[in-house]
Structure 1
Amino acid sequence: MLTYRSYEPGDERELVTLWNRCLTKDPVTPTRFRNLVLLDANFDPQGLRVASDETGRVIGCVYAVRRLLPMHGTELEPDNGWIPFFFVAPEHRRQGVASRLMSEAVAFLREQGRKNIFFASYAPNYIVPGIDEKNYQAGYAFLQSQGFARLYSPIAMDYSLVDHDTPVDVEQLKQQRLDEGYSFDTAKDGDLYEVIQFATNVFNPDWGRAIREGVLQGLPLSSILIARDEQGKLVGFCLHGGYEGVKERFGPFGVDPSQQGKGLGKILLYDCLALMRAQGLHGAWFLWTGETTPAGYLYKRAGFSITRSFHVMKLSQPSN
């Protein structure tokens, strides 16, 4: 007889083991599971739904989370909830286990007043942006069967730094902008407040959080590049190593929309890639961008290749 319950202390080891059996393209270590789930300020044990067999062995899991701590200001996104991950042991699939766990996870979020439920665009501690249809076809079909609909499809990209060399035209462009009064430098302590506010307010609160927490966890300021205009106003930034301390993970990265078209993003990108190569890194990668966005086109032109594609899914409140 199967048992369905919420997370209990001591489940971690079995959850990580089963995770790595099921989500083979996205394995985790016990440390990552602890940091991304158990130590998340929004973690609620009631939202981590677990199935176990008659021996007590964990055979499945669906995780539901809602915001308890605002990402920015006082905004708790009271209408929104997220399902960051789910998995069921292969030998127990197609027996209703996932459906039961998902219904419990959705019920948990509905009880908290969440009208919109997303897979899996949760910040700050998302594992992947959405479901990878290519590698988890059954998982994608399952989400659709549960009423989730695709919203959009971000891509992950990788770039080999082994043969990296900054093109001459980029060096010339940078010199042109320098002659116009722009500046490009690594961040100093005095830049941090402005960079974090810029990332948060112009782009995404999660970007500002990533910079702040990255520095607190040891991210060198030399890994953060900034651009200023001729008046000294911050107009762009770029970094690597800001997420989970992974040095080869590129981003976040942004240029003031009013400054786009001047190649500032291209300059920052190539400066950061050169910096990464100088540190002996062999690759740069990131998890999330739009393929047809200006950033997506910039990455392609720089030589990044698409390595994965995801679907962000949404389950809306049933109509009465």
Structure 2
Amino acid sequence: MQITNLREDLIRPLVRLTNKALPYDSVTKWSFMRCTFLDPNFDPSLTFVAMEDDLPVGVALGSMRSKELKEMISTDHGWIKLFAVDPGRAAEVAPELLSALETEMSKRGVAEVRVSDFAGWHFFPGIQFKYSNLIRFFTDHGYNKVSEAVDYVIDLSEFVESDLIESWRESIRSQGYEVKTPSRDEMESVVSWVMDTFGPAWKHETLQAFRHDPPSVFIAKKGDKIVGFSVYSALELDWFGPIGVAEDERHNKIGTILLYQCLKEMKLEGLKTAVIPWTSHLFFYANVPTIRKIKYYWILSKKITR
């Protein structure tokens, strides 16, 4: 077995390996490219691929926030974005990959390593609880749970917006609210509002949504004032979110209307499934009638010696 750094020609076999090692998830070539070579923070020397007979049998993708998001740059923190090992080789390969990655991060002065909540360029928010062997591996190596999150998986093939949602839409319209897709000329004001209200991670995802034509963004306005926003297909085509409403405008159904507007658009664009990733707002999303699956994740962390 040899350990090498990630190369672009390894993407396809690594996608296949990841989907074999993590069978309850689905990683595409786009996901792999987005989280590696398209990440401005990407550093191949923080990636480790175990090779045998010219094929990968394990991968550990590390990252540090060195360039983006600028407001979140840190030299003290490192992340393990992805850790996947051929199930038949885990006992031998997994410790070698983890040791190589932790050693490299320690050399760079990293004090804490997290798995795998690297906002903006993440595969998953953490490790799915279904992967008990993987969680046990990390906890046996000194990692502890520091947070948790869920994904909701929605069946859009049976999603139909109810008359109740339309009545709420009419109600807020009569109160002077407007829900619409912003024009490209409005991008700067929308992105600025998201940054000021919710921070840099959601700003980044909103910018990504403006790549589409038309933008995969909805905003709620009252007069000239933005009071809420929602995004879909920003990082992954089947991902919904983020979504947010100004604090003084909550509890008047604007968030629910924005949520349903996005899900309706995703269905009309031909998507069969929508994923609401990395959330802890359990009751807000529970009102969607066609939720088919909930994925539960542990976010892990370990202090390492510099």
Fold similarity call, TM over 0.5: yes
Inter-partner Cα distance in structure 2 for 1:65 and 1:148: 17
Alignment of 1:200-215 (within 5 A): 200-215=195-210
Kindly provide the amino acid, as one letter, of the partner of residue 200 in structure 2. P
Structure 2 residue ranges without an equivalent (≥5): none
For each residue in 1:109-161, what CA deviation from the matched residue of structure 2 results, as whole angstroms up to 9, or x when unmatched? Answer: 22222212110001222111110121x22111111111111122211112233
Give 2:15's aligned residue: 16
Offset, 1:72: 3.5
For each residue in 1:42-79, what CA deviation from the matched residue of structure 2 results, as whole angstroms up to 9, or x when unmatched? Answer: 111111112234x4543222111101213144x41222
Inter-partner Cα distance in structure 2 for 1:30 and 1:11: 11
Structure 1 residue ranges without an equivalent (≥5): none
Inter-partner Cα distance in structure 2 for 1:117 and 1:210: 24
Cα pair distance change 1:23/1:177, threshold 3 Å: same
TM-score by length of 2: 0.89
Give 2:250's aligned residue: 260
Give 1:91's aligned residue: 88
CA contact (8 A) 1:67 1:81 kept: yes
Give 1:192's aligned residue: 187
**Identity %, equivalent residues:** 25
Inter-partner Cα distance in structure 2 for 1:21 and 1:279: 29
CA contact (8 A) 1:22 1:89 kept: yes
CA contact (8 A) 2:60 2:84 kept: yes
Equivalent of 1:228, from 196, 205, 221? 221
Inter-partner Cα distance in structure 1 for 2:129 and 2:256: 31
Equivalent of 1:81, from 63, 67, 78? 78
CA contact (8 A) 2:184 2:210 kept: no
Q: 2:263 aligned with 1:283, yes or no?
A: no
Inter-partner Cα distance in structure 2 for 1:104 and 1:273: 42
Offset, 1:35: 3.2
Kindly provide the amino acid, as one letter, of the partner of residue 238 in structure 1. S
Offset, 1:297: 1.1
For each residue in 1:266-311, what CA deviation from the matched residue of structure 2 results, as whole angstroms up to 9, or x when unmatched? Answer: 1212222333334444432222111xx3xx2121023253421111
List structure 1 runs of 4+ shifted beyond 4 angstroms: none
Secondary structure at 1:165's aligned position in 2? coil
CA contact (8 A) 2:241 2:277 kept: no
Secondary structure at 2:74's aligned position in 1? coil
Equivalent of 1:271, from 261, 265, 277? 261
Larger CA deviation: 121-130 vs 84-93: 84-93
CA contact (8 A) 1:64 1:108 kept: no
Inter-partner Cα distance in structure 2 for 1:239 and 1:178: 20
Give 1:46's aligned residue: 45
Inter-partner Cα distance in structure 1 for 2:19 and 2:268: 34
For each residue in 1:73-97, what CA deviation from the matched residue of structure 2 results, as whole angstroms up to 9, or x when unmatched? Answer: 4x412221100111222232223x2
Inter-partner Cα distance in structure 1 for 2:186 and 2:30: 32
Offset, 1:5: 3.8
Inter-partner Cα distance in structure 1 for 2:17 and 2:231: 34
CA contact (8 A) 1:120 1:128 kept: yes
Inter-partner Cα distance in structure 1 for 2:11 and 2:288: 41
Kindly provide the amino acid, as one letter, of the partner of residue 298 in structure 2. H
Give 1:28's aligned residue: 27
Alignment of 1:55-66 (within 5 A): 55-66=53-64
